[in-house]
Amino acid sequence: MEWKEPWRIDWLRWIAAFASQEGGTLVIGKDDKGRVVGVQNHKKLLEEIPSTVKNKLGIRPSVSAMSEGGKTYVVIKVEKEGRPVPLDGVYYKRSGSTTRIVSGDELKRWLLIGWGISWTDCTAKGREVSDLSRAAIDFFVAKGIESGRMSAQVAKIDTESLLRHYDLMDKDGLKRSGAILFLEHPDLGFWGAAIMIGAFTEDNRLLRHDRIDCSAIMQPDMAMDVLLNKYIQGVDEVEWLARVVPKGISTEGISTTGHSQNMQISKIYALKICKSQKFML
């Protein structure tokens, strides 16, 4: 709740911030200690404020007048809109008792979250369907059919229809999820879109490492081949396999072909064998 003495157009920033976050109440006619000082022409404000808010923000707050000690004040109740609400193209946020502008990377993240859009749902700018690896797409379809999650008919449809069916492409073009899955070298355009395998001693000294940087849909199988054939070949006993999932990692768009793709997105595994060596995948 915020208290303001006279009504000013500047208070629209507070209303925008309330609507963009958890909602809130703005009281016009109280000082900063919550004491009623009253307003003039409260009847005019009851008409002016809703109209101004609707025209500037596109929302309809509840506006009412109340009295205390013979003085009238106006209460503006703002509901949570479930999305960021701009004022003249600028977004505002409540931080403690202040209202501030949201900009830069913070604004990008906030808008994505506010509109229910994940990073992978965004268009992969500069990437076309023709850039995708045919081998990776065929691998995806083959794995899907093999697992029983796709019908054999899927193999007969064109690439764009396939991508749209699995929500990897929309009217704006190829999504980042589709690009990462099927580009031959996704790490060239998307930092971290590769698997690193390393062998470490008990005191964490690196012995050797490999980088798996093919299409993301093929990375889990290739990584397991490298791990089994190069790193733990001939090992009879595995002590433990631990999965470490970084915060914020999503498995959306990958699970169609089964567990191995989910493993790749979670990205960090630790395998310890009895020869006092650790391997990170």
State whether 91 and 143 are in the same domain: no
- For residues 208 and 181, state if they share a domain: no
Instruction: Evaluate the CA torsion angle 104, 105, 111, 117 in order and state its sign.
Output: positive
Helix (H) or strand (E) holding 279: strand 277-280
Q: Is 111 left (phi over 0), alpha (psi -120 to 50) or beta?
A: alpha
Q: Which of 98, 80, 81, 72 is nearest to 7 (CA)?
A: 72
Q: Are 124 and 175 in contact (CB under 8 A)?
A: yes
Tokens at 65, concatenated: 């007048």
Which of 186, 205, 225 is the endpoint of a domain? 186
What is the pLDDT at residue 233? 65
Q: Same structural domain for residues 90 and 171?
A: no
Q: Which long-range contacts does 60-64 make (Cβ < 8 Å, 24+ apart)? A: 61/15, 61/19
Domain assignment present for residue 201? The answer is: yes
Closest by Cα among 248, 115, 229, 251 to 181: 251
Between CA 119 and CA 133 the distance in angstroms is 22
DSSP state of 172: T
Distance (Å, rounded) from C-alpha 151 to C-alpha 22? 45
Is position 122 within any domain?
no
Closest CA to 23 of 97, 80, 98: 80
- State how far the Cα of 166 lies from the Cα of 120, in Å rounded to an integer: 13
pTM summary value:
0.52
Total count of domains within the chain: 3
40 within 8 A of 117, measured Cβ to Cβ: no
* 199 and 171, same domain (yes or no): no
pLDDT at 9: 92
Residues 81 and 166 in one domain: no
Q: Which residue positions in the chain have pLDDT lower than 70?
A: 233-281
Per residue in 63-105, pLDDT (tens digit) is 999 999 889 999 999 998 878 888 998 999 888 888 999 888 7
123: in domain: no
| One domain, residues 139 and 177 | yes
Q: Please check whether residue 120 lies inside any domain of the structure.
A: no
72/38 same-domain check: yes
Q: Is 278 exposed, middle or buried (0-12, 13-18, 19+ CB in 10 A)?
A: middle
Is the same domain home to 62 and 34? Answer: yes
The residue ranges of DSSP E strands in 149-236, in sequence order, are: 169-170, 173-174, 195-201, 206-212
Choosing from 140, 160, 186, the residue where a domain stops is 186
| Ramachandran sector of residue 149 (left: φ over 0; alpha: ψ -120 to 50; beta: rest) | alpha
121 belongs to a structural domain = no
* Domain-located, residue 87: yes
Q: Could you tell me if 21 and 98 lie in one domain?
A: yes
In a domain, 158, yes or no: yes
Q: E strand or H helix at 129, and its extent?
A: none
Note the residue count of the chain: 281
Last residue of a domain, one of 143, 165, 186: 186
Looking at residue 36, which CATH number applies to its domain?
A: 3.30.950.30
Q: Are residues 62 and 31 in the same domain?
A: yes
Tokens 């992978």 sit on residue: 120
Is 88 in the same domain as 63?
Answer: yes
40 exposed, middle or buried (CB, 10 Å; 0-12, 13-18, 19+)?
A: exposed
In a domain, 124, yes or no: no
**Domain extent at residue 71:** 2-114
Residues 201 and 253 in one domain: yes
